[in-house]
Every structure is written in structure tokens, then in C-alpha cells.
Structure 1
Amino acid sequence: METKLTLDFKTSQAIIRKVGFVDSFKGKWRGLGGSESIYLKELKQIATIESIGSSTRIEGATMTNDEVKDFIRSIKITSFKSRDEQEVFGYYEVLSLILESYRNIPLTENNIHQLHKLLLKESSKDSHHRGNYKKLSNKVVANYPGGHQKVIFATTSPHLVAVEMTALVDWTSRNLAEGELHPLIVIATVSSQTDLV
């Protein structure tokens, strides 16, 4: 993990500027007082929709952000017409839970398994590994018009996932607790480990 944080000077400075820019919003949000403003609620909704759309498209879903937004508005649906809807519903539930309760969800492998179980609870194709680490190899593939495919990256082999997840959770918890690295740097480093999925 530490090697991922070894950057040249110019890149380090660019990251520091961007992190500083994000940090400047902390004071502005705190200045809004205890109640959420309409702008913060709108930003949360946009971030949720874009996150769900991007994450499910990596898994092969085809719903656009507008389709995700429309689907979320009618989320009281009890049966789903497609696998895309199953996955979007799962992501929506997990993101909602995290946004509401993140302070009460410590970073542990058990909680990761529980969130994974919730994420896939409506996904019929994923019942075999719901709430567990993967047992089969997979790749993230981009599908292009005309049927052309390109492997974006190959993921971690199933037999290595448990060991690497333990290391990832330990590294993340330690670095967030120590406070030596900015939390955004820690989060970005963890996010770059998507090959564990």
C-alpha cells in the first residue's frame, strides 16, 4: 500500500491543492448550522445517483444516471424487471445505510460482509457469494459497440482475497487512527484497491 503513495513532487503538489480545495468546504458546511441545507441534500442525491450508476456499470449494468434517478424515485417497487434494477436497489440501500449510520459502522471485515450481503440481497445471480468473498475469478471488461470487449483490469485471485482484505482493513484503520495521512488520501488509496472485488 505504501508504494501507491510514492508520488513525484508535481503530482504531490496537485493532490495537496485538490485536498485543500475539498477541505475548504468543511468550514462552509459547518457554517450552515445543524440542519442540512437544501443544497447539501441535493449534493447527496447527485453523489448517490452518480456513485450507483458508475458502480453498477462497472459490473455490467446498462442503466444511465437518469434511469437510476427515476428508478430511485419509485424505489417502493417490490419486484424488479431486470438485473440492473436488482443491483441499483442494492447499491441504493447500502449507500443510504452508510450515509445515515457511518459513525456506527466500524471498518471491519464482518461489516464489509454484512454490507455485501445487503448489496446483493435482491440479485438472483449473486446468491452463491452474497456476504462472502468471491470464489471465482473475474475481470472488469468494457463492452463497445459492435461487440468488441476490452479488459480494463483483472481482479485479485479468489485465494488471495481474504489475506489482502485483512491487510487492507488493518492498513486503513491504522492510517485513519494515526492521522498522519489526510483521510481523503487514505480513502483514495483504499478505493484504488478495487481489484480485490
Structure 2
Amino acid sequence: MGKKAKQDLPLHKVIMVGSGGVGKSALTLQYMYGDFVEEYDPTKADSYRKKVTLDNQDCQIDILDTAGQEEYAAIRDNYYRSGEGFICVFSLCEYESFMHTQEFKDQISRVLDDNKIPFILVGNKADLTQLRKVNREEAAARAAEWNCPYYETSAKTRHNVDEVYTVLMRKIQQRKESAKDRERKGKKGKCLIL
């Protein structure tokens, strides 16, 4: 497959948000390369692109892994504007990171002025059961309130990692298809008088 063909593939832009140290990079790298990275320098945002098959169709996923401490609101807001779907990550071992998810959700909703943007709430580090500080019921209740799915993942064991990205890409794809349908319906009813 040449360069041209790859460019024609649908591209889904995913943005990882969450406090520093919750495992956004670990989840991204596990999904991209099947590696668990224990030590990672979280100082800058990184972008990853990969060709994947979604429901028997080839497409590309573009993942922007934010650093978690975006001091500059303008930079953060630009990241948010470029996203078609969001994975909001907190650590199951750190209650404060769960509390911060509300801020991320509010910022994204404010910047995009869109409460229907594809969004998934993720509690990471599920393998560290003995250190758990956030219970499943509370996290699931928040996701229900936001009308989005909730998953518990482990970047270390790869538990639910692929599922999270697949579910989000499906939501992005459905949203694009329904936008195209609305566009087609809108064009049908108009007549042009010359």
C-alpha cells in the first residue's frame, strides 16, 4: 500500500486527558506498541498514529497524549479543539485524580461547547487492587451522570486497554456518519433557482 492509500484512510483523533501520573502515557504506549513502560518522562505532549482495523475496516487512530500539567490554557484549549474523542484517565489508587476528572470534563465541554463529544472515563491501575482508593460504584455513577462509558484498565496487564480505544473510535465513527447523514438530508430538500 503506497503513501497515497494510507492518507485516504479515515482518521480518528483521540485526546488523552487526566492528572499527571495516572498512566495516560502507559495506556497509550501499551495500546500502540504492546509495551508497559514503568518510567516515562511526562514533561511534554506526544502524538502517536497507527493504522488499525475497526469493525473490518482499516482506519488510522491519532492519539495526543497530553502531559497532564498544561499550564497554558491556550495550548490546552487548542489540543481540545483538535480532538474528536476523549479518554479521561484517573488512577484508581489516587482519589484526587478522580476528583480532577470533573475539571477536565468541564474544560472540554466549555472549549468545544459540545456535551455530545465522544468521551470515556477510565480508572487505570486496576492491577494494584491493594492500593485502591476509588470504588467502582462511585466512578460508574460519575460516568452515568456524564452519559459516557466507564472502564477500569491496567496498562501493566493490558486489561481493557484495546477495548477503550476501540469503543471510543466506534463512537467517533458513528458521530461522523450521523453528521454526514444530516448533511445529505439537508442537501436533498433544497432547490436552486438560477
TM-score, scaled relative to structure 1: 0.28
* Greater share of strand: 2
Answer 1 or 2: higher relative contact order, Cα 8 Å, separation at least 6.
Answer: 2
TM-score, scaled relative to structure 2: 0.28
* Greater share of helix: 1
